[in-house]
Amino acid sequence: MRAEKLGSSIRREQIARAAFALIAEGGLKAVRIGAIARRVGVTPSAIYRHFAGKDELLEEMIELIRSRLESNLQAAQESKGDALEVLEELLARMVGQIRENQTIPRMIFADDFYLGRPDRKSRANAMIRSFLDRLTETIRRGQREGQIRPELDAQVTSVMFLGLFMPPGILWFLSDGGFDVTRQTREAWMVFRRSIEVERDAAQSRGRGGKRIAHSVRGRK
């Protein structure tokens, strides 16, 4: 039975989708031309009408990930709130992404991806760096605007932010979805937030350098 004949831009789209679905199920290793073809409903050789080869497909996938990351950042930054709210929104989005398919970390850690291709590795690196840079920028803004403690190193803090969702993502993956990422990140965010934010309740005692309340009392769990 012959598959319906469709325009190449449509097929490219379908193929990329299929590839992402496969990553979600079995990791990069599971992205095989044959498997993609089956999923799309054509024969393996048909894939080559739309991509020069597997490499080109993978490049397109990196690009899609990049733009997804980008749009997360964009959306979070456009939410009108202050820096802390932007971070919180971004965290929620990253968690959503993890729950959706874990694509990003799985590609980043897939050796197949880099083996013999230093260019790809440095592109992935650049991608994360730029993500971090924008994170850093947001944190600096928070510092300027008085929500985030000025003595923190913004770059260090941005990497710590990654620490809020990466390990939970890994646990979620290893446990086949059994680990409660949402709860973990929610709680971790509260702890993290308290450790970076300027303490407001202390306003009354400001100028005296005395005891800080924030650390001891606000134990909403």
Partner DNA sequence: ACATATAGTGAAACTAGATTCACAGCCGAG
Partner DNA sequence: CTCGGCTGTGAATCTAGTTTCACTATATGT
Contacts to a second copy by CB under 8 A? 26-30, 105-106, 108-112, 114-115, 121, 124-125, 128, 149, 151-153, 156-157, 159-160, 162-164, 166-168, 170-171, 174-176, 183-184, 187-188, 191-192, 194-196, 199, 202-203, 205-206, 208-212, 215-216, 219, 221
The whole-angstrom separation of Cα 100 and Cα 117 is: 28
Q: Measured from the CB of residue 9, what is the shortest distance to DNA in angstroms?
A: 8
| The binder of DNA chosen from 13, 25, 43, 212 (CB under 7 A) | 43
Residue with Cβ nearer a second copy (46 or 166): 166
203 scored as a contact of DNA (CB under 7 A): no
**Residue 156 touches which member of a second copy, DNA, none, C-beta under 5-8 Å by kind:** a second copy
- Nearest to a second copy of 7, 116 (CB atom): 116
CA neighbours closer than 13 Å in the CB half-sphere of residue 200: 7
Q: Which stretch binds DNA (CB under 7 A): 51-59, 72-80, 130-138, 193-201?
A: 51-59
> What is the residue whose two structure tokens read 């770059």?
155
Determine if 67 is a binding residue for DNA (CB under 7 A).
no
Taking CB under 7 A as the rule, does residue 42 contact DNA? yes
Q: What is the 3-state secondary structure (H, E, C) of the chain?
A: CCCCCCCHHHHHHHHHHHHHHHHHHHCHHHCCHHHHHHHHCCCHHHHCCCCCCHHHHHHHHHHHHHHHHHHHHHHHHHCCCCHHHHHHHHHHHHHHHHHHCCHHHHHHHCHHHCCCCHHHHHHHHHHHHHHHHHHHHHHHHHHHCCCECCCCCHHHHHHHHHHHHHHHHHHHHHCCCCCCHHHHHHHHHHHHHHHHECCCHHHHHCCCCCCCCHHHHCCCC
Please give the Cα distance from 119 to 162 (Å, whole number).
Answer: 24
Q: Of 9 and 216, which has the nearer Cβ to DNA? A: 9
Query: Which partner in DNA, a second copy, none is near 5 (CB below 5 to 8 A by kind)?
Result: DNA
26 counts as binding DNA under rule CB under 7 A = no
In the complex, least distance from residue 89 CB atom to a second copy, rounded to whole angstroms: 19
Residues that bind DNA (CB under 7 A): 1-8, 11, 31-34, 42-46, 48-50, 53-55
